[in-house]
Structure 1
Amino acid sequence: MKQLVAIVCVGLVGFANAQSTSKDVEVYERYENGELVEQRQSATENGKPIENFDFEEMKRKMLAKSAEMDTKLKEMEARMKERSAKMSLDMDKRMKQMEQRMADMEKRSEEMHQRLDQRMKEVESQSEEKANAQPKQTPLPQEEPVQMKNTGNLKFT
């Protein structure tokens, strides 16, 4: 029971501290015929007005924060351009390597075809030489196959 109470207390304290706070600054300006007639500024924190709020300091902080964000944005853009350029160079390098490999493969294929053609010609010329070197043999006369004549006197028992 004590543990449950302790857990509930810790939870409530954490919940109370975890509540978000908000500060709102409102600037009201009224112009007539292009001239500033009225200007009011108000600041609230969690819906309650803040007394003695320094609007000039807030403007300086906002400008500093904006400048910091702009420099970070420019740095990020520069890094992205650098990475993009590096990736482009890497891709170009890989493409050149692939093209070189393809050219080498085509060259090897062509050389292989030439060797194969040359080898086929050599085999052909060797077979012609063998055919020319051997005397031609006359084929032996063939005997006619034996024909059976049906006499009709065959009986199976």
Structure 2
Amino acid sequence: MKTLKTITMLFVTALLGATVPALAQTKDPSVFHGAEATKAHYKAAYQLDSEEPDKIKGTLRNIQNALDDPRLKGKLDLELVVHGPGVAAFRKDSGYEEMVKKLQDRGVTLSMCENTMRERKISKDELFPFLSYVPSGNGELIIRGQEGWTIIHP
């Protein structure tokens, strides 16, 4: 009897597993336009810990895309938390100053990890003059995450 019950449960589970995705796929894709931004406010912290130009450009572009999303207009608090090799994005000689400054002008907080600066012997004079500083990038992300911020690591 126990075996019959087990087999029946497996059959029902398999049947539901095959049916539910099929039902989801019958929705008209031309009607779906993404999630609705039903909250009054959204908070996200972007983590940048890479010196790879494609990663830096991609992260900055992702932030720009979030700012330009019509669903999120006027509803965003964004922070870019840079640590480790990501410091390359904030160096005066990096070529990213214009992109980074535009993000700040749109309200993005630009946070540089002081631990990284100390470990790599980097002075504030080597970095953009308009940055904010946090004791540790990881600490900032931990605190933000516990405050309900979405942590994005492109």
TM-score range, shorter chain: under 0.3
Higher RCO (C-alpha under 8 Å, 6+ residues apart): 2
Larger Rg: 1
The structure richer in helix per residue is: 1
TM-score, normalized by length of structure 2?
A: 0.24
